[in-house]
Structures are given as structure tokens and as C-alpha cells.
Amino acid sequence: MAKRLRYGLIGCGGCGVGKHLASYALYPDEVELCAVYDFDAAKAKAAAEQYRVPQVYATYEEMLADPRIDFVSVATPNAFHAPITIAALEAGKHVHVEKPISMNAEEAEAIVEAKNRNGKLVMVGLNNRFTELSQFTKQYVDEGHLGEVYHIRCGWRRRRGIPSWGGWFTQKALAGGGPLIDLGVHFIDLSLHFIGFPEPVSVSGATYSKFTGKPAKGKDAPPPMDVEDLAVGFVRFANGCTMSIEYSWASNVEREENFSELMGTKGGLRLLNGELTLLGESCGVPTNIVPQIKNTSSWGENEAKHFIECMRRRREPLAKPEEAVRIMRIIDGLYASAESGREVLVSPVAV
């Protein structure tokens, strides 16, 4: 049997433990859980006890200096993604970094450079790409059933759901933004993944902060908040396709929904709250087809399996950092447009 890949987790919060540690623990023949680190030593200790991880490091630098570690996950607040990912690459580790890859496109580009310089792999934690429904949808679009996809509508709108855990999600210096950078990366990425990542050329966006000062989900007191609670926007791509977006943590809509809707010349599809509907026409009549597929894998399970295979076979992972640079340029552009009140151009990047 090949040597097991030796793993370290940096950031032992909800996602680090609930997704990364829990998912890599599903593959004990492939992965040895070796070490954890968290800024908060008690959280690292609790994670180590729960998953029987032998080593708790006092700093991430010490973990990265351990030559036995092959790869790490970075699941800290967004502000630390780029510096820790780059340090891990320089230390010769493969990195599974959470979404968003970074605070902005400039940091994401620095990650790509460090990856190329060190010849290691980086995968971004875009778990929505790895669900059974998303994999089916990607295949369906690739087989040409929609024809030319010329417009996308995507979003994730919460009626009330400003995150309060940890406190950092609502602080620009730690998160980089509100629901656009938090929820937006998931469904902008997924929609562009379905249609082969066209190059964005211009964006127009608006952001709103109408719920600042109101109590967060399950809390009595308002969280410290200097980010938007709603972002809307419009993106034009070089191939003529367009995309409209809506992301909110709080808005007066009927109910929470996340969606990616593709409109093509031969057909359309709608992925809504984990239900897929194919929109076509038969015998001259519009038809809605519901594929009998359910998402059965747990959060991060397929994603972890994919990264293990990529490390074993030295293959570029899906959810590449180069694509994440493109996403971050869209997000940077939307925030810049929201601030200036004008459409802004997006510079090209190879993916």
C-alpha cells in the first residue's frame, strides 16, 4: 500500500473541524491525521481530542516546519487564507484552502505564483462543485443539452441570517466583505464552472447595509458589522454571456434560497436549494424534467476524496486557484462598482 498522506489542519472552527477534519477522517487508509493548530489553543485541543490527532502545534509555522506533513487545510477567517497558504506552499505542502481563496484578486494571484514556484497543489474549498447534483449538471451542460448558454442568474438570499459566530464574518478587515464574498463565491463559481469559466470583461454592482445594528441569527445583540448585507450585480463575459447576481444575509424576501439558473438556446436548467429541474420542450410544449438524483455525500466528503486523488496522481484539482483569481476579480469589481456607482472593467486572467 502507498504511504499515507500526512495531514495537518490550520483553523479548528466550524468548517475546519466539521468539514475538513471530518472529511479526511473518512479516508483512514489514505490519510493520517497528524496535527492541528488554531489561534485559540482550546479549540485545537478539542479538535485533536475529538478526532484523536496526536499533535497540537502552538503556531502554524511549527506545523509547516514539520517535514512529515504532506498537506494542510487552511480554514481560518478569510484574512489569513493567503498568508498561511503561501507559507505552506513555501514549506513544500499541498494546500486545501477554504473559500474565498483570499480577500481579493491580488492575494489570489500571489497564491498562484507561490503554487507555481513551489510545484505544489492548491485546491479551493468549493464543496458545491462536488455534490452528485452538480456533477450531473456539469455533465449535462457539457453534453450540449442547453445549446449556447447566454444568461445566468445566480444567488443566495437569506431572509435573516447575518452570521455572528466568531464575530469575524461581519468585519471587513477579517472577512473582506459580506454575503457577496461569503456566499457569492459558491454560486458564482458553480455557475461559471458549469459553463467552462468564460472570461469576465465588465461588472456593475450595488451593495446595501440596511440591517446593520440589528441582532444576528439567534443573538440578542447586533454583531460588529462594517460589511454589506445585500449585494446585487451584473457581469458581462467575453463570449457574450451575461450573469445577474443577488446575495444577502438579510433581506425582506419570502424565504431563504440559493440558486443557479442557466438559460440556453436549446434548454435551460435551475438548481434551487439542492433540487435540479431541466427546462426543455417536447412536442412543442415546455417540459420540466426532474432528474432522480439526490445529494447523498456529506459536506466535504467528495471534495476531500478528489484532493487525495489529485495528490496521489499529481493532477491539477478541480476548483483551481487560477479560476478563483477570476472569481475574485469579479468580486473586487463588484465592490469597486458599488463604491463608484459605475460599471468597471475586469482585467483578463488565464485559467
Q: How is residue 25 written as a grid cell?
A: 477522517
CB of 44 to ligand NAD, least distance (A): 8
Give whichever of 152 and 319 is closer to ligand NAD, judged by the CB atom.
319
Distances (CA, A) of 65 to 4, 35, 83, 277: 19, 12, 15, 49
Q: Is 156 in the site for ligand NAD (CB under 6 A)?
A: no
For residue 263, count other CB atoms closer than 10 A to its CB: 19
Q: Which residues within the stretch 290-309 sit at the binding site for ligand NAD (CB under 6 A)?
A: none
Neighbour-count burial of 286, counting CB atoms closer than 10 A to its CB (0-12 exposed, 13-18 middle, 19+ buried):
exposed
Q: Which residues within the stretch 10-69 sit at the binding site for ligand NAD (CB under 6 A)?
A: 10-16, 38-40, 43, 60
CB of 230 to ligand NAD, least distance (A): 18
CB of 269 to ligand NAD, least distance (A): 22
Q: Is 274 in the site for ligand NAD (CB under 6 A)?
A: no
Q: Which stretch binds ligand NAD (CB under 6 A): 73-81, 224-232, 282-290, 309-317?
A: 73-81
- Give the torsion sign (CA, 110, 114, 116, 117): positive
Tell which one of 23, 76, 204, 248 touches ligand NAD (CB under 6 A).
Answer: 76
Closest by CA position to 137, among listed 127, 146, 150? 146
| Distance (Å, whole) CA 209 – CA 225 | 9
Give whichever of 10 and 225 is closer to ligand NAD, judged by the CB atom.
10
Closest by CA position to 184, among listed 204, 215, 164, 155? 155
Give whichever of 39 and 259 is closer to ligand NAD, judged by the CB atom.
39
Q: What are the residues binding ligand NAD (CB under 6 A)?
A: 10-16, 38-40, 43, 60, 75-78, 80, 98-99, 125, 127, 165-166, 182
